Amino acid sequence: MMTAVKSVFTSSHLQMPEYEPVKTYEKGYEERKYAPSRWVSTSLDLMTSEEATISKKERRESFFKLFNYISGENEGSQKIEMTAPVARQYIPGQGPACETKYTMSFFVPREFTENTPKPKAPDVTITNLPQMTVFVKKFSGFADDDKYLEEMKRFVSILEEDGHQVKDDVYYFAGYDSPFKLLNRRNEVWLVKDCEDGQLSHQVVPNASSGGDPAEKLETSGGEEQSHIENPAGAEAGAVGGAEAAGPASEDQTFNANPNEVGMD
Protein backbone atom coordinates (compact mmCIF):
# COMPACT_ATOMS: atom_id res chain seq x y z
CA MET A 1 0.00 0.00 0.00
CA MET A 2 2.71 2.47 0.98
CA THR A 3 4.61 1.76 -2.23
CA ALA A 4 1.50 2.60 -4.23
CA VAL A 5 0.93 5.81 -2.31
CA LYS A 6 4.53 6.96 -2.72
CA SER A 7 4.41 6.11 -6.42
CA VAL A 8 1.34 8.28 -6.91
CA PHE A 9 2.85 11.24 -5.13
CA THR A 10 6.25 11.15 -6.76
CA SER A 11 5.05 10.72 -10.35
CA SER A 12 4.82 13.57 -12.83
CA HIS A 13 2.76 14.52 -15.89
CA LEU A 14 -0.54 14.09 -14.08
CA GLN A 15 -3.68 14.74 -16.09
CA MET A 16 -5.56 17.92 -15.24
CA PRO A 17 -8.88 19.32 -16.43
CA GLU A 18 -8.82 21.52 -19.51
CA TYR A 19 -9.47 25.23 -19.39
CA GLU A 20 -9.27 28.28 -21.60
CA PRO A 21 -7.36 31.21 -20.07
CA VAL A 22 -9.59 34.28 -20.29
CA LYS A 23 -7.42 36.94 -18.68
CA THR A 24 -4.54 37.44 -16.26
CA TYR A 25 -4.95 40.53 -14.09
CA GLU A 26 -2.27 42.91 -12.86
CA LYS A 27 -3.12 42.12 -9.24
CA GLY A 28 -1.97 38.56 -9.70
CA TYR A 29 -5.09 36.50 -10.33
CA GLU A 30 -6.57 34.74 -13.36
CA GLU A 31 -9.93 34.24 -15.02
CA ARG A 32 -10.42 30.80 -16.57
CA LYS A 33 -13.17 29.01 -18.46
CA TYR A 34 -13.20 25.30 -17.75
CA ALA A 35 -14.45 22.67 -20.16
CA PRO A 36 -16.97 20.07 -18.96
CA SER A 37 -15.28 17.36 -16.93
CA ARG A 38 -15.94 14.33 -14.77
CA TRP A 39 -14.92 13.80 -11.16
CA VAL A 40 -15.13 11.17 -8.44
CA SER A 41 -16.31 12.73 -5.19
CA THR A 42 -17.19 12.16 -1.57
CA SER A 43 -19.16 14.56 0.64
CA LEU A 44 -20.04 15.22 4.25
CA ASP A 45 -21.91 17.82 6.25
CA LEU A 46 -20.01 19.94 8.75
CA MET A 47 -22.13 21.00 11.71
CA THR A 48 -20.06 24.03 12.47
CA SER A 49 -19.84 27.75 11.84
CA GLU A 50 -20.45 29.66 8.60
CA GLU A 51 -16.74 29.43 7.79
CA ALA A 52 -16.55 25.73 8.48
CA THR A 53 -13.28 23.94 8.07
CA ILE A 54 -12.64 20.25 8.01
CA SER A 55 -10.41 18.43 10.48
CA LYS A 56 -7.24 16.64 9.39
CA LYS A 57 -8.89 13.35 10.31
CA GLU A 58 -11.91 14.11 8.12
CA ARG A 59 -9.70 15.26 5.23
CA ARG A 60 -7.61 12.11 5.50
CA GLU A 61 -10.69 9.88 5.51
CA SER A 62 -12.17 11.68 2.49
CA PHE A 63 -8.91 11.48 0.61
CA PHE A 64 -8.51 7.74 1.12
CA LYS A 65 -12.07 7.00 0.07
CA LEU A 66 -11.16 8.51 -3.30
CA PHE A 67 -7.68 6.98 -3.35
CA ASN A 68 -9.19 3.54 -2.71
CA TYR A 69 -11.56 4.10 -5.62
CA ILE A 70 -8.74 4.77 -8.09
CA SER A 71 -6.78 1.87 -6.57
CA GLY A 72 -9.46 -0.60 -7.63
CA GLU A 73 -12.47 -0.26 -5.34
CA ASN A 74 -14.78 0.13 -8.32
CA GLU A 75 -16.81 -2.11 -10.58
CA GLY A 76 -14.30 -3.95 -12.71
CA SER A 77 -11.53 -3.36 -10.15
CA GLN A 78 -9.84 -0.97 -12.57
CA LYS A 79 -6.69 0.90 -11.63
CA ILE A 80 -6.98 4.61 -12.42
CA GLU A 81 -4.05 7.02 -12.52
CA MET A 82 -3.87 9.84 -10.00
CA THR A 83 -4.71 13.26 -11.41
CA ALA A 84 -4.42 16.86 -10.27
CA PRO A 85 -5.64 18.80 -8.48
CA VAL A 86 -7.42 17.51 -5.41
CA ALA A 87 -10.39 19.87 -5.25
CA ARG A 88 -12.33 20.73 -2.12
CA GLN A 89 -15.68 22.47 -2.32
CA TYR A 90 -17.40 24.25 0.56
CA ILE A 91 -21.04 25.32 0.47
CA PRO A 92 -21.49 27.36 3.67
CA GLY A 93 -24.60 26.89 5.74
CA GLN A 94 -26.82 29.89 6.26
CA GLY A 95 -26.54 31.09 9.84
CA PRO A 96 -24.15 30.43 12.74
CA ALA A 97 -25.18 26.81 13.40
CA CYS A 98 -26.14 25.38 10.00
CA GLU A 99 -24.55 22.56 8.07
CA THR A 100 -21.78 23.34 5.61
CA LYS A 101 -21.55 20.91 2.71
CA TYR A 102 -18.00 19.75 2.06
CA THR A 103 -16.97 17.76 -1.01
CA MET A 104 -13.56 16.45 -2.02
CA SER A 105 -12.99 15.33 -5.63
CA PHE A 106 -10.41 13.76 -7.92
CA PHE A 107 -10.53 14.57 -11.64
CA VAL A 108 -11.40 11.48 -13.73
CA PRO A 109 -8.79 10.90 -16.48
CA ARG A 110 -10.10 11.55 -19.98
CA GLU A 111 -9.75 7.92 -21.04
CA PHE A 112 -12.41 7.05 -18.42
CA THR A 113 -14.83 9.88 -19.21
CA GLU A 114 -17.20 7.81 -21.36
CA ASN A 115 -16.91 4.60 -19.31
CA THR A 116 -16.33 5.68 -15.73
CA PRO A 117 -16.20 2.70 -13.34
CA LYS A 118 -18.90 2.90 -10.70
CA PRO A 119 -17.61 3.17 -7.13
CA LYS A 120 -18.17 0.26 -4.76
CA ALA A 121 -18.32 2.50 -1.70
CA PRO A 122 -21.84 3.93 -1.19
CA ASP A 123 -20.48 7.35 -0.16
CA VAL A 124 -18.29 7.79 -3.26
CA THR A 125 -20.04 9.17 -6.35
CA ILE A 126 -19.34 10.14 -9.95
CA THR A 127 -20.10 13.81 -10.59
CA ASN A 128 -20.02 16.09 -13.62
CA LEU A 129 -18.70 19.62 -13.89
CA PRO A 130 -20.29 21.70 -16.63
CA GLN A 131 -18.49 24.47 -18.46
CA MET A 132 -17.81 27.25 -15.97
CA THR A 133 -15.88 30.47 -15.46
CA VAL A 134 -13.85 31.04 -12.30
CA PHE A 135 -11.45 33.55 -10.82
CA VAL A 136 -8.31 31.85 -9.48
CA LYS A 137 -5.71 33.05 -6.98
CA LYS A 138 -2.51 31.05 -6.58
CA PHE A 139 -0.33 31.03 -3.51
CA SER A 140 2.65 28.96 -2.37
CA GLY A 141 3.84 27.22 0.75
CA PHE A 142 2.18 24.68 3.01
CA ALA A 143 -1.47 25.59 3.55
CA ASP A 144 -4.05 24.44 6.05
CA ASP A 145 -7.68 25.54 5.92
CA ASP A 146 -6.98 28.67 7.97
CA LYS A 147 -4.42 29.76 5.38
CA TYR A 148 -6.83 29.06 2.53
CA LEU A 149 -9.55 31.08 4.25
CA GLU A 150 -7.14 33.96 4.81
CA GLU A 151 -6.18 33.94 1.13
CA MET A 152 -9.81 33.68 0.07
CA LYS A 153 -10.84 36.74 2.10
CA ARG A 154 -8.05 38.78 0.56
CA PHE A 155 -9.07 37.56 -2.87
CA VAL A 156 -12.72 38.52 -2.34
CA SER A 157 -11.63 42.04 -1.40
CA ILE A 158 -9.47 42.34 -4.52
CA LEU A 159 -12.29 41.13 -6.77
CA GLU A 160 -14.70 43.60 -5.20
CA GLU A 161 -12.21 46.43 -5.76
CA ASP A 162 -11.98 45.42 -9.41
CA GLY A 163 -15.75 45.33 -9.81
CA HIS A 164 -16.16 41.56 -10.31
CA GLN A 165 -19.23 39.68 -9.13
CA VAL A 166 -18.75 36.18 -7.72
CA LYS A 167 -20.98 33.57 -6.12
CA ASP A 168 -21.12 34.16 -2.38
CA ASP A 169 -22.51 30.76 -1.45
CA VAL A 170 -19.66 28.49 -2.51
CA TYR A 171 -15.86 28.46 -2.59
CA TYR A 172 -13.12 26.02 -3.54
CA PHE A 173 -9.64 25.08 -2.40
CA ALA A 174 -7.26 23.16 -4.67
CA GLY A 175 -3.96 21.46 -3.90
CA TYR A 176 -1.41 20.19 -6.39
CA ASP A 177 1.60 18.99 -4.39
CA SER A 178 2.74 16.11 -2.27
CA PRO A 179 3.74 17.02 1.29
CA PHE A 180 7.18 15.72 0.30
CA LYS A 181 7.60 18.70 -1.99
CA LEU A 182 9.17 21.56 -0.03
CA LEU A 183 9.66 24.34 -2.60
CA ASN A 184 7.49 25.99 -5.26
CA ARG A 185 4.30 24.55 -3.88
CA ARG A 186 1.04 25.38 -5.63
CA ASN A 187 -2.27 26.08 -3.92
CA GLU A 188 -5.31 27.80 -5.38
CA VAL A 189 -8.54 29.45 -4.28
CA TRP A 190 -11.37 29.46 -6.83
CA LEU A 191 -14.38 31.73 -6.82
CA VAL A 192 -17.16 31.21 -9.34
CA LYS A 193 -17.90 34.16 -11.60
CA ASP A 194 -21.49 35.31 -11.19
CA CYS A 195 -22.46 35.14 -14.85
CA GLU A 196 -25.76 35.85 -16.51
CA ASP A 197 -25.77 32.53 -18.32
CA GLY A 198 -27.22 30.57 -15.42
CA GLN A 199 -24.14 28.48 -14.66
CA LEU A 200 -24.55 26.62 -11.40
CA SER A 201 -22.23 26.88 -8.46
CA HIS A 202 -23.30 23.91 -6.38
CA GLN A 203 -22.43 20.30 -6.82
CA VAL A 204 -25.45 18.06 -7.14
CA VAL A 205 -24.37 14.58 -6.07
CA PRO A 206 -25.83 11.74 -8.18
CA ASN A 207 -27.45 8.65 -6.69
CA ALA A 208 -25.08 7.67 -3.89
CA SER A 209 -25.89 3.98 -4.08
CA SER A 210 -24.98 3.67 -7.74
CA GLY A 211 -22.45 6.47 -8.11
CA GLY A 212 -24.61 8.02 -10.80
CA ASP A 213 -24.74 7.00 -14.40
CA PRO A 214 -21.16 6.85 -15.70
CA ALA A 215 -22.46 6.71 -19.26
CA GLU A 216 -24.22 10.05 -18.95
CA LYS A 217 -22.80 12.55 -21.45
CA LEU A 218 -21.08 15.66 -20.19
CA GLU A 219 -22.95 18.82 -21.11
CA THR A 220 -21.50 22.23 -21.85
CA SER A 221 -24.01 24.11 -19.73
CA GLY A 222 -25.40 23.62 -16.24
CA GLY A 223 -28.51 21.69 -15.34
CA GLU A 224 -30.01 20.31 -12.16
CA GLU A 225 -27.96 17.15 -12.36
CA GLN A 226 -24.72 19.01 -13.06
CA SER A 227 -22.12 19.89 -10.48
CA HIS A 228 -19.76 22.79 -10.01
CA ILE A 229 -16.92 21.05 -8.28
CA GLU A 230 -14.30 23.05 -9.99
CA ASN A 231 -11.18 21.82 -11.36
CA PRO A 232 -8.48 24.25 -10.72
CA ALA A 233 -5.52 25.29 -12.59
CA GLY A 234 -3.99 23.90 -15.62
CA ALA A 235 -4.39 21.12 -17.99
CA GLU A 236 -1.92 18.52 -19.06
CA ALA A 237 0.48 19.23 -21.88
CA GLY A 238 -1.37 19.82 -25.12
CA ALA A 239 -4.68 20.62 -23.42
CA VAL A 240 -6.46 23.90 -23.87
CA GLY A 241 -4.89 26.52 -21.66
CA GLY A 242 -2.56 24.02 -20.03
CA ALA A 243 -0.58 25.54 -17.22
CA GLU A 244 3.00 24.70 -16.41
CA ALA A 245 3.43 21.16 -15.14
CA ALA A 246 2.61 21.11 -11.46
CA GLY A 247 3.96 18.78 -8.83
CA PRO A 248 1.96 15.67 -8.03
CA ALA A 249 -1.39 16.18 -6.40
CA SER A 250 -2.15 15.47 -2.79
CA GLU A 251 -4.88 16.14 -0.32
CA ASP A 252 -3.00 19.19 0.96
CA GLN A 253 -1.24 18.24 4.17
CA THR A 254 -3.02 14.91 4.56
CA PHE A 255 0.28 13.06 4.75
CA ASN A 256 3.00 13.21 7.34
CA ALA A 257 6.32 14.62 6.20
CA ASN A 258 7.85 11.24 6.98
CA PRO A 259 7.94 9.48 3.58
CA ASN A 260 7.64 6.10 5.30
CA GLU A 261 4.39 6.85 7.02
CA VAL A 262 0.96 8.00 5.99
CA GLY A 263 -0.49 10.25 8.68
CA MET A 264 -1.38 13.74 9.65
CA ASP A 265 0.74 16.88 9.76
CATH of the domain at 169: 3.20.80.10
Confidence of residue 92 (pLDDT cuts 50, 70, 90): confident
pLDDT tens, position by position, 43-57: 988 765 545 567 788
pLDDT confidence band for 197 (50 / 70 / 90): low
Over residues 111-155, the pLDDT tens digits come to: 999 999 999 999 999 999 788 899 999 999 998 888 998 999 999
Q: 183 or 117: which carries more pLDDT confidence?
A: 117
217 falls within a domain: no
The pLDDT value recorded for residue 200 is 55
Residue 234 counted as domain residue? no
Where in the sequence is the domain holding 182, given as residue range(s)? Answer: 2-192
Q: State the pLDDT at residue 165.
A: 94
Residue 250 lies in a domain: no
Number of structural domains (the chain) is 1
Query: Is residue 127 a contact partner of residue 105, using CB atoms and an 8 Å limit?
Result: yes
- Within a domain: 75: yes
Global pTM reads 0.74
**Does residue 128 sit within a domain?**
yes
**Residue 255 forms part of a structural domain:** no
Above 70 in pLDDT, residue 216? no
